[in-house]
Chains A and B, each alone.
Chain A
Amino acid sequence: MAETQTQPLGAYAADAVRAASEARGEPGWLAEKRQEAARAFEALPMPTQRSRPWKYTDVSGLSIAAHPPEASFLPVVAVPEGGVPAGGYAGSLADALQDERLAAVVEQHLGALIPATEGKFIAANASQWTGGVFVHAARGKAFEAPVTVGVTAQAGAVFPRMLIVAEAASDVTVLVRCSSGDADVLASGVVEIVAGADSNVRVVFDVGWGAATRDFLSLRARTDRGANVQVATLAIGGALVKHTLEGILEGEGSTGRFRGVALGDKDQHFDFVTLQNHIGRKTLSDVQIKAALAGGSRSIYYGVTRVEETAAGAAAEQENRNLLLSGDAKADSDPVLEILTNEVIRCGHGATVGPVDEEALFYLQSRGLDRRQSLKLLVSGFFRSVLDDIADEALLEEVTASVERKLEVARL
């Protein structure tokens, strides 16, 4: 119910937020921003199921303020062996603020793509994030290997925050690994990606949360001319995972590729929302969300591909596939196209929800594989088209192994 109304704000109160910011020695502009965000948090209602992106995810019983921010929460940034290319940066936002040049870049971009006032979860993040992650690729420079970010939560609320600024013709990959224990955890993350002209930015989330973690992530990328942004979420763990992935395809010929994979069991709840906004000419978007659901798990997909009048020559693909591995699993899918120009190259969308193909199952069983082995093979095959896009071999092996382990005991 309206629990948030009666819940004391505590650490979430505007004064407390400002004081904490000052105690951390943050610059005045940031303390100011945080305080504004805290006021927005107090003023904004929790999303209700009347709002389309929240139609199937009921958070009315959830109180953010009842989850005290985890004091020790700090994302750990590991820089690749070759180091950060000259002029760039990969580390905490807090450290970046100590450097005048970096602080200027942060000030320019932090909260610009995703303003704190957009929603309650975002406002909570904007007022509360600690540590933070800042990845900055300098003009024309490429990171030799992925930057790895470890996000580990203990209990209470955590607020992962990441800002990626890729200058023109730069190249960077960021791997985010999320984990937590069995305690009740609320994670509210915000990721902003500023992709400069002809840059390549890849972000992968390895969602390995514990069984009682609820994860709400908002990610938005803005692409300059010719930029390529690729985002993938691999959701295996967590009680509730709601990822909102948005691409603002502004620059001519820029591309946004968004991938989501979920493997559910028990009463896991996955909710993917995507928004591809084609603004520039010849922009290209490609969304592929796939869920395989065992036990009583559930997946929801709501995606909007919007092609503005200015986006002549745009091409968009939007695909959502759901494989129901048990009779109790459930999936809802709603891909939407809004096309405001006559000059699209192609614009496709597709959604399926259905059980395993019995003929394929019999085929595999006729080769000596028992039912569970056959289903494991079918699920890994089902995920393959999405996973093939993830270039990182080690991560791919890890994810494949987690899928195997999970299917070994899942209720099929």
Chain B
Amino acid sequence: MSEPILELRGLKASITEQPDIQLLKGLDLTIRPGEIHALMGPNGSGKSTLANTIAGSPSYTVDEGQVLLKGEDITEAPADERARKGVFLSFQYPTPIPGVTMVNLMREALKARRGAEVPAREFLQELRETLASLKMSEDMARRYVNEGFSGGEKKRAEILQMGLLKPDLAILDETDSGLDVDALRTVAEGVQALRRPDMGVLIITHYERILSYIEPDYVHVLVKGQIVKSGGFSLAKEIEAGGYDPILKELGLLEGATA
């Protein structure tokens, strides 16, 4: 078997400003090249915390355990170093950056990822192609990053960056939230078109619907900072049909349930 892209070993993490609030309580996860993993779970289960912790957000601090990228321990690495090594986070709520155009950001980001200047012609060529696979206009690239973007535009802009930066690991944090059916299809098809065969993907979602466009190899259920159940695509369908309660009940985790 090939070397994993991502390995989480007994990962525990808390909020940096409130160290007594631990949100991830011992998480193990292995993603190999080409695999698509879906992480599902009720609100407050720690899904976004996990996404941000893998990406190196200073808002969270790892208390215990390790994050390995292609075998290398990146637990202590700052976010920018992780990104240059191939981690990409598609944000649930992409931040507006006033005065900085998409083109400007992507040019700098691509330069950082490749560790070398990218010739203007080559950059524009790649940008055009990537825009096209997301059915985005070139005007979009001239706008300020995430400023005044609609929900769908924000998510497409994230996937656009993924397509250009060609990461080894893409974490899609609720990329489906806030999108109508058409926007969801465009984004999902964009992910499929731009996904490299050896890329590892971690899709974080509430709902099964994005998974019907991007079928996962594995589905994990996260509850209170721990993966309580893993399975195939059928697990996502189970959740879609019956919600989380039957699983929680089965595992004896349903709070307030009377026997």
CB within 8 Å of B: which residues of A?
357-360, 362-371, 373-374, 377-378, 380-385
Contacts and interface: CB of A to CB of B under 8 A. Distances in A.
A324 B104 CA distance: 23
Contacts of A362: 57-59, 79, 95
B56 A368 contact: no
Nearest to A363: B95
30 contacts: A360-B97, A362-B57, A362-B59, A363-B91, A363-B95, A363-B97, A365-B56, A365-B79, A365-B83, A366-B55, A366-B82, A366-B89, A368-B80, A368-B83, A368-B84, A368-B109, A368-B112, A368-B113, A369-B108, A369-B112, A373-B80, A373-B108, A377-B104, A377-B105, A378-B97, A378-B100, A381-B98, A381-B100, A382-B99, A385-B99
Contacts of B149: none
Interface string B70-107: 00000000111011100011010011111110001100
Q: Is the interface of B mostly helix, strand, loop or mixed?
A: mixed
Given A373-B108, A381-B98, 13 more contacts: A360-B95, A362-B59, A364-B105, A366-B83, A367-B80, A367-B108, A368-B84, A368-B113, A370-B78, A374-B80, A378-B100, A380-B100, A385-B99
Nearest to B79: A365
A363 B88 CA distance: 11
B218 interface: no
A366 B105 CA distance: 12
Nearest to A358: B58
A122 to B, nearest CB: 36
B165 A381 contact: no
B91 to A, nearest CB: 7
A365 B55 CA distance: 10
A371 B82 CA distance: 13
B49 interface: no
A357 B83 contact: no
B142 to A, nearest CB: 13
**In this complex, which of A360, A363, A366, A370 has the most chain B Cβ atoms within 10 angstroms of its Cβ?**
A366
Contacts of B113: 368
Given A360-B95, A362-B58, A381 B144 contact: yes
Contacts of B109: 367-369
Interface string B110-129: 00110000000000000000
Contacts, number: 84
Contacts of B58: 358, 362
A387 B226 CA distance: 50
Nearest to B87: A366
Contacts of B95: 357, 359-360, 362-363
B205 interface: no
A360 B57 CA distance: 11
A381 B57 contact: no
B141 to A, nearest CB: 15
A395 B96 CA distance: 28
A374 B89 CA distance: 17
Nearest to B90: A366
Contacts of A365: 56, 78-80, 83
B53 interface: no
A384 B144 CA distance: 11
**In this complex, which of A365, A373, A385 has the most chain B Cβ atoms within 10 angstroms of its Cβ?**
A365
Nearest to A362: B57
Contact of A377 (B89, B94, B108): B108
Contacts of B55: 366
B161 interface: yes
A11 to B, nearest CB: 47
A371 B55 CA distance: 15
A213 B132 CA distance: 53
A291 B79 CA distance: 28
A213 to B, nearest CB: 29
B100 A367 contact: no
A384 B91 contact: no
Contacts of A370: 78, 80, 112
Interface in B143-163: 144-145, 161
